[in-house]
Chain A
Amino acid sequence: MTSQTSTAYEKYHVPPKSRLAICATTGLMLSVYGAASIMNDMTFGDPGVSTNSWSIFLCGLFFFLATLFAWFRTAIRENLAGLNSAQLKHSYVLGMFWFIFSEVMFFLAFFGALFYVRNLVGPWLAGEGEGGRMNGLLWQGFEFSWPMMQTPQEAVGGAAAQPLANNGTFAGPQTSLSFAQAHAWWAWLPLWNTVVLLSSSFTCHLAHMGILDGDRRKFNLWLAVTVLLGMLFLCLQAFEYHEAYTHFGLTLNSGIYGSTFFMLTGFHGFHVFMGMTMLLIQLLRSVLGGQFTASDHFGFEASSWYWHFVDVVWVFLFLFVYIL
């Protein structure tokens, strides 16, 4: 191997030293420490003693978000100043792609838990197969069905009746949110959520077409519609959660059905919120700052990939959590 200088090389901008990382660390650590303290106060703490956990958490969170704002502003300004070579831009593309991949794996853990519980654990608890031998000793009378309307604990007569596995109270829901329990398809909320989210993916694509054509009006319009659809989805989901808690008796404590339902849809909802916020920021950048051109709009593109990813996750959720 010999070393030689190539001629037509566009310099890769290595940023000068920066306070961003240390500020982000401070904010993150404070908010995480605060969050852990809040939860410990809640579960293990003495209700009579007041702590400053919430202040630590909120200070940390504010500082963290402010740092993120400064960080993205720096990155955007570097790009506007023409510091980013084509090669550097590709680093951002790779970064976003692999970040989304890691998010996919996060959801996979929860989907994996759902499949494992539905297909293996449930039948075993009800006494089927090789895993079912403990049924007679622990959960006699438990019958497995999905959605799990009666938890094993209820089947044996409540927490007090089963001292061997008494680590909480888990009462099954009165009504599930699955399609089988819906009284009419047009009144079934998850279906409308699906319609809203799928159309938002489409409008997001229209916005992308707009910026590629250099048509800012079209871009702004469809991006705004996308953000509004995202908000609508979140409102519908908030309504759904409210219904689940107040009318269906479906809560986080409703045994494994409630656990998987709320964790999967909840994390998805949180990701919708993130994606919507990202798109909203891109909209403000375009409307207020006149940023993005037909050839340079990665901030929007990355957000739109995230949005499509969130949409695909919903399709799987709709299929495996609500329908099947």
Chain B
Amino acid sequence: MGDYHHGPAKGLSRWLFTTNHKDIGTMYLWFSFAMFILGGSFAMVIRAELFEPGMQLVDPAFFNQMTTLHGLVMVFGAIMPSFVGLANWLIPMMIGAPDMALPRMNNWSFWILPPTFLVLASTLFMEGGAPAFGWTFYAPLSTTYAPPSVTFFIFSIHVLGLSSIMGSINIIATVMNMRAPGMTYMKMPLFVWTWLITAFLLVAVMPVLAGAVTMMLMDIHFGTSFFSAAGGGDPVLFQHVFWFFGHPEVYIIILPAFGVISQVIPAFSRKPLFGYASMVYATASIAFLSFIVWAHHMFTVGMPVAGELFFMYATMLIAVPTGVKVFNWVTTMWRGALTFETPMLFAIGFLILFTIGGFTGLMLAIAPADFQYHDSYFVVAHFHYVMVAGAVFSMSAGIYFWLPKWCGRMYNEAMGKTHFWISFIGFNLAFFPQHFVGLAGMPRRIPDYALQFADFNMMSSIGAFIYGASQILFLYNVIATIVAGKPVSDEKVWDGAEGLEWTLPTPAPYHTFETPPLVK
């Protein structure tokens, strides 16, 4: 125990046995970046096949495995763990806590992720191939017609759920129990608020996902008939249970992103966040609504009209709190002393592109219109606007924003801005045309398509390659910063940054706030 008060242990044991929230946060972030590259390479295979009509590179079965694994790896391996990494690094520093509430469990939550993704990736080499039923794994594709590797997929989901639940319980306990004296709930930085609510969503819906995959497991191996009409069950039951998890899940992904943006925009506007309390209430409202809108993913499945109407109106209601947020961010910038460093560029990129994604979401919420849009590339365009330009852009903003605080070195601003502009152009080139091909009737999850979609698909593929390549620049910039960036010693790093984490020395010491600060 002797060396533990002074600094990190040497060698591999530091990472394997650590209980330090900063170490664990770092591991989460690196792991999620590795998964981002893996999931991204699956996407490159998809876009390469779709570069022109006809079958060129892969066979349709493998194409389906790619779309499935791309979705699963990006959602469960890249985006979710990356925000857990940010939470680990920042929540204790933002609320003045010495560490997370349950540090050993924190380490366990992380370490079960890498072997699980190893198992999931290894399904590619199993007999019958990897899961090929899409990341939403609808029954009976995922039960009656699934390859044997589905069993490993099911258990992977169980373990990922376990990791998320433990991670979230830790975050809830930390926020509720570890705030420094004077740090009342309504003084918490918005990033902490959004994570508290996200953690609540995770604890509420990950068990439901576990229930869904358990029903699949029983149907496949033990003869139950949850998803089989022959035995009195219903394949649509799967969709209901899945989306009861799945819709809160998309807010699990985007709420921490909102939190990051709510820290970055005020810092570079040199103004406090406009409408702090309304931001908190809007986040809570979004979380509440996320539980009663799930069937808008299933408008074409044959629900009673009353159901269609209820889920349509409830979904549209989400636009209200989301609008409040967008309004508040814009108003924060209004008459601020704006500067446009890389984090701010990503935040503004987020703001514009996420709003576009939100509006296409509203279009999809209109039940009668959705009969046309459903399962088309329009849907693909919509959720990539909120997942990539929403979650991933805000993640990039967050990394550039806090990296100097973490490692005491400044990233290369010119390279950061280049990363932003290449990402921004590549992203829009990749996904904007997908709106058009989708509205014109191109279905999603197909390896080949009709000739009239050729031009837009080629643009889309070129954009995707550009976006993919820009992440290499990002990786290089981050490594170069950590290894040889210009040292920073100013506590605040950014002159407009506010919050407890900016009162700590730069780089942040291994142990911080061992006695809590008093917040006035």
Contact = CB atoms under 8 A, between A and B. Distances in A.
Nearest to A92: B102
Nearest to A259: B224
Interface stretch (A21-29, A184-192, A202-210, A214-222): A21-29
Interface in A87-105: 87-88, 90-92, 94-95, 98-99, 101-103, 105
A151 B112 contact: no
A5 B517 CA distance: 5
Contacts of B240: 112, 116
Interface residues of B, number: 96
A226 to B, nearest CB: 26
Interface string B162-193: 10010011101110111001000000000000
Interface stretch (B11-19, B410-418, B445-453): B11-19
Contacts of B511: 14
**Main SS at interface, chain B:** helix
Contacts of A17: 4, 9, 13-14, 17-19
Contact of B230 (A29, A113, A168): A168
Interface stretch (B201-209, B336-344, B465-473): B201-209
A309 B373 CA distance: 44
Nearest to B145: A167
Nearest to B162: A28
Contacts of B520: 1-2
Interface string A69-98: 001000000000000000110111011001
Interface stretch (B63-71, B210-218, B263-271, B352-360): B210-218
Contacts of B518: 2-6
A21 B104 contact: yes
Contacts of A152: 229-232
Nearest to B229: A165
A230 to B, nearest CB: 23
> Size band of the A side of the interface?
35 or more
A26 B315 CA distance: 43
A109 B108 contact: no
A170 B144 contact: no
A28 B112 contact: yes
A209 to B, nearest CB: 27
A112 B204 CA distance: 14
Interface of A is mostly: helix
B234 interface: yes
Interface stretch (B32-40, B45-53, B73-81, B150-158): B150-158
Interface string B494-520: 000011100100000001001111111
Interface stretch (A37-45, A273-281, A292-300, A310-318): A37-45
Given A165-B230, A259-B231, A102 B207 contact: yes
27 contacts: A1-B499, A3-B517, A14-B19, A15-B104, A16-B19, A19-B17, A36-B152, A40-B152, A87-B177, A95-B170, A98-B173, A102-B204, A105-B203, A105-B208, A109-B244, A112-B241, A117-B233, A122-B232, A130-B304, A162-B230, A168-B230, A169-B223, A170-B231, A251-B223, A255-B225, A255-B231, A255-B233
Given A6-B181, A112-B241, A152-B232, 13 more contacts: A3-B503, A18-B104, A21-B17, A21-B110, A40-B151, A92-B102, A101-B204, A102-B206, A117-B232, A151-B225, A165-B229, A166-B230, A167-B143
Interface of B: 1, 4, 9, 13-14, 16-20, 96-99, 101-105, 107-108, 110-112, 115-116, 119, 140, 143-144, 148, 151-152, 154-155, 158-159, 162, 165, 168-170, 172-174, 176-178, 181, 203-208, 210-212, 214-215, 217-218, 220-226, 228-234, 236-237, 240-241, 244, 302, 304-305, 498-500, 503, 511, 514-520
Interface of A: 1-6, 9, 11-12, 14-22, 24-25, 28-29, 32-33, 35-36, 39-40, 42-44, 71, 87-88, 90-92, 94-95, 98-99, 101-103, 105-106, 108-110, 112-113, 116-117, 121-122, 124-125, 129-131, 138-139, 148, 151-153, 159, 162, 165-170, 251-253, 255-259, 262-263
